[in-house]
Amino acid sequence: MNIQTSLDATAESLLLPQPYLLFLGDTTERGYAKTAFGLRDWAPEKCVGEYALPGATVSAGLVSLTPAEARARGARSLLIGVANSGGVIPESWIPALVEALDAGLDIVSGMHMRLADRPELAGRAQRLGRRLIDVRHPPAGLTVGTGRKRSGQRLLTVGTDCALGKKYTALAIARAFAARGVDADFRATGQTGIMIAGGGMPMDAVVSDFEAGAAELVSPDAAPGHWDVIEGQGSLFHPAYAAVSLGLLHGSQPDVIIVCHEPGRTQVLGSPGYALPSIEDTIDLNLRLGARTNPAIRCAGVSFNTAHMDAGAATALMAAESARLGLPVADPIRGGDAFERLLDSCLA
pLDDT in tens, 303-320: 999 999 999 999 999 999
CATH code given to domain 153-347: 3.40.50.300
pLDDT exceeds 70 at position 37: yes
Contact 316, 263 (CB under 8 A): no
Q: Please tell me the pTM assigned to this model.
A: 0.86
CA angle 64, 131, 191 (to 5 degrees): 70
Class of 17-134 in CATH:
alpha beta
User: What percentage of the chain has pLDDT greater than the value 90?
Assistant: 83
| Residue 324: HSE in the Cβ half-sphere, 13 Å Cα cutoff | 11
| Cβ neighbours for 263, distance < 8 A, ≥ 6 positions apart | 304, 305, 306, 309, 317
Q: What ranges do the domains of the chain cover?
A: 17-134, 153-347
Helix pair angle (279-290, 242-252), 10° resolution: 50
Sign of CA dihedral 149, 152, 190, 93: negative
Asked whether the predicted pLDDT for residue 42 surpasses 80, the reply is yes
- Asked, colleague to colleague, whether 17-134 and 153-347 share their fold, the answer is yes
Least confident of 7-11, 37-41, 220-224, 293-297: 7-11
- The percent of residues above 70 in pLDDT, for the chain, comes to 95
